């Protein structure tokens, strides 16, 4: 049997924060995809896992030695409304391993059956959403965005109760940890300050050890989380990523992107872009993401108040100061990212206007966000504009900055919505995984143009793209 060297601190140190649980047995596990590079990074034997034994492990039929499967409890604000009890309803943490870089990583299953936190759900996952999360997470990783990763996707040999009775599947997911803003909320909402302190100590030790020696470790932790989220959301914005469901239970303390459900990448630049069918108010639209991140961080701050200072007024004042710094911190990261995309090698006063004017041009002329930046290096961007004179006027200012644009700053391949859909449809309807594998291979090297892959760099036609909607992977 393939061996995992588990060392399960969450199970050991936070006994009140989960329910021990076993994955459901499934009839016929089979590997669809195994991430050999990630397995190796985790210190696992990829060859041994690329086997029926590996499929049985990632489907939940075999619990490997040393794993202590558990369902984590958490709460969360969903679309602004508080749900006091969420938790892993279809996921289980198997355990933690130390990777070859010395980093502690969670290995979890998603779609492994009902748990005490399933509420009305079946605990299962369908193949389409599992492959979608695989593609999106790996694409984001290759784009340099902190994210949970896909270790494996397996089909289970059963059909799940969804539209069209699609094949059931399980995703093996790797994360720095699965602790969410909602994990803090669960205990804070019950007034259990001792548990919040316990969780805080654990998060500091695991993710922010430098905060331990700060004058106010709680405040230092909060500030560090804000910083990582500011950097993270700035990265999203620079690649045109729309998470789609930025509920507080989908925001990690580690600063990794998590829970790829209705997420999608924007084609034509439009700040109001929303793809998720359930986000009817546009709460999680592209341009709203930094503000929502700050809102979520305010919810985190509320859970920490009693630990920031015994004097509640003083505690509020201290966290408010950190929260109010968030927009500026975000903008700094975003502007740095945009400077890199435009090839600006120094920082100058007019840079913000230069970036914003470019984006305004893209919006006014409905130009593809990814192509517009990519084409700056070889001069092909100009042809994307219906009104070239407007582009030329802007380009004079840009050229005056003597830009040096690197193709490593602007991807040629992102997970284009129509390509993702085509890959999933082939897999789900025809068990044809070739389109998925082809797309995945390109997305793993998003900055390097490949021969015979020109079509993958293009958005769908506006007619085909109109009204594109994504759905939560439930």
Q: Choose the contact partner of 148 out of Mg ion, ligand AMP, none; CB within 5 to 8 A by kind.
A: none
Residues contacting residue 401 through CB under 8 Å, at least 6 positions apart = 342, 344, 348, 354
Instruction: Indicate whether 181 belongs to the interface with ligand AMP (CB under 6 A).
Output: no
The Cα–Cα gap between 39 and 35 comes to 6
Rounded to the nearest whole angstrom, what is the least distance from the CB of residue 331 to Mg ion in the complex?
Answer: 28
CB of 463 to ligand AMP, least distance (A): 31
Among 44, 154, 200, 245, binds ligand AMP (CB under 6 A): 245
* Segment interacting with ligand AMP (CB under 6 A) among 117-125, 231-239, 324-332, 423-431: 117-125
CB 124 within 8 A of CB 113: yes
CB of 247 to ligand AMP, least distance (A): 7
Using DSSP bridges, classify how beta strands 91-98 and 104-110 pair: parallel, antiparallel or unpaired: antiparallel
**Cβ 284 to ligand AMP shortest distance, Å:** 12
Provide the strand spans (E) within 240-370: 241-242, 264-265
Tell me: does residue 44 bind ligand AMP (CB under 6 A): no
Which residues, including other chains, have CB under 8 Å from residue 36's CB and lie 6 or more apart? Answer: 46, 50
18, 32, 73, 218, 455 from 186: Cα distances, Å: 12, 36, 8, 18, 46
Q: Which of 45, 122, 192, 270 binds ligand AMP (CB under 6 A)?
A: 122
Catalytic residue among 106, 163, 192, 249: 249
Judged by CB under 5 A, does residue 250 bind Mg ion? yes
Angle at 51 between CA 46 and CA 53, to 5 degrees: 105
**Contact status, residue 33 vs residue 134, Cβ threshold 8 Å:** yes
87 is an interface residue for ligand AMP by CB under 6 A: yes
Give the nearest distance from C-beta 259 to Mg ion in angstroms. Answer: 4
> Could you confirm whether 351 is annotated as catalytic?
no
User: Contact region for ligand AMP (CB under 6 A) — 37-45, 81-89, 313-321, 451-459?
Assistant: 81-89
Distances from the Cα of 199 to the Cαs of 60, 95, 122, 235, 364, in angstroms? 28, 17, 29, 28, 47
> Of 86-94, 95-103, 290-298, 403-411, which segment contacts ligand AMP by CB under 6 A?
86-94
CB closer to ligand AMP, 89 vs 144: 89
88 belongs to the binding site for Mg ion (CB under 5 A): no
Contact 435, 443 (CB under 8 A): no
Residues 6+ apart with CB under 8 A from 138: 35, 149, 150, 440, 443, 444
Closest contact distance (angstroms) between CB of 119 and ligand AMP is: 6
Contact assessment for residue 147 and residue 453, using Cβ atoms and an 8 Å cutoff? no
What DSSP element (H or E) covers 203?
A: helix 193-207
Identify residues 255-294 at the interface with Mg ion (CB under 5 A): 259
Using the contact rule CB under 5 A, the part of the chain among 247-255, 285-293, 324-332, 444-452 near Mg ion is 247-255
Binding segment for ligand AMP among 4-12, 163-171, 242-250, 346-354 (CB under 6 A)? 242-250
Contact status: 133 vs Mg ion (CB under 5 A): no
Q: Which is nearer to ligand AMP, 283 or 333 (CB)?
A: 283
Pairwise CA distance, residues 89 & 83, whole Å: 14
Give least dist CB 194 to ligand AMP, A.
24
Selection from 83, 129, 99 nearest residue 39 by Cα: 99
86 binds ligand AMP (CB under 6 A): yes
Task: Collect all residues with Cβ–Cβ distance below 8 Å to 353 and sequence separation of at least 6.
Answer: none
Contact by Cβ (8 Å): 179, 253: yes
The residue (of 87 and 446) whose beta carbon lies closer to ligand AMP is 87
Contacting residues toward ligand AMP, per CB under 6 A: 86-91, 118, 121-124, 245, 249-250, 259, 261, 472, 474
| Residues with a known catalytic role | 249
Contacting residues toward Mg ion, per CB under 5 A: 250, 259
């Amino acid at each position: 049997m393939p061996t995992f060297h588990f060392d399960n601190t969450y199970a050991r140190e936070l006994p009140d924060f989960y329910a021990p649980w076993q994955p459901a047995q499934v009839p016929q596990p089979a590997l669809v995809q195994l991430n050999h590079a990630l397995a190796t990074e985790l210190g696992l034997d990829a060859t041994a896992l690329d086997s029926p034994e590996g499929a049985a492990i990632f489907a939940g039929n075999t619990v490997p030695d040393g794993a202590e499967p558990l369902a984590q409890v958490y709460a969360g604000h969903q679309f602004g409304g508080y749900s006091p009890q969420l938790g892993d309803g279809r996921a289980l943490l198997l355990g933690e391993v130390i990777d070859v870089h010395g980093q502690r990583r969670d290995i979890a299953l998603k779609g492994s059956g009902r748990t005490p936190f399933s509420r009305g759900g079946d605990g299962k996952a369908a193949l389409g959403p599992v492959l979608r999360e695989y593609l999106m997470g790996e694409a984001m990783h290759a784009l340099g965005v902190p994210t949970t990763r896909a270790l494996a996707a397996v089909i289970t040999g059963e059909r799940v109760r969804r539209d069209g009775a699609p094949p059931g599947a399980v995703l093996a997911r790797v994360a720095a940890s699965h602790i969410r803003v909602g994990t803090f909320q669960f205990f804070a909402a019950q007034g259990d300050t001792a548990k919040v302190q316990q969780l805080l100590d654990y998060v500091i030790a695991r993710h922010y050890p430098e905060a331990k020696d700060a004058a106010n470790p709680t405040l230092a932790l909060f500030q560090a989380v804000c910083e990582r989220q500011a950097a993270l959301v700035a990265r999203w914005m620079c690649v045109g990523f729309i998470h789609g469901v930025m509920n507080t239970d989908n925001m990690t303390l580690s600063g990794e992107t998590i829970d790829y459900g209705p997420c999608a990448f924007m084609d034509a630049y439009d700040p109001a872009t929303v793809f998720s069918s359930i986000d009817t108010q546009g709460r999680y639209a592209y341009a709203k993401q930094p503000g929502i991140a700050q809102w979520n961080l305010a919810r985190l701050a509320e859970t920490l108040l009693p630990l920031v200072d015994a004097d509640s007024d003083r505690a509020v004042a201290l966290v408010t100061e950190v929260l109010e710094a968030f927009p500026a911190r975000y903008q700094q990261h975003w502007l740095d990212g945009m400077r890199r995309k435009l090839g600006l090698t120094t920082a100058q006063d007019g840079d913000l206007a230069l970036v914003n004017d470019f984006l305004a041009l893209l919006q006014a002329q409905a130009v593809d966000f990814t192509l517009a930046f990519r084409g700056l290096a070889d001069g092909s961007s100009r042809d994307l504009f219906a009104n070239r004179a407007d582009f030329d006027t802007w380009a004079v200012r840009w050229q005056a900055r003597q830009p040096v644009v690197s193709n490593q700053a602007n991807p040629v391949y992102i997970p284009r919505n129509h390509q993702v859909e085509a890959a999933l449809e082939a897999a789900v309807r025809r068990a044809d995984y070739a389109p998925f594998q082809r797309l995945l291979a390109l997305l793993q090297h998003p900055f390097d143009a490949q021969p015979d892959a020109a079509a993958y760099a293009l958005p769908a036609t506006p007619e085909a793209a109109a009204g594109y909607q994504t759905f939560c992977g439930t």
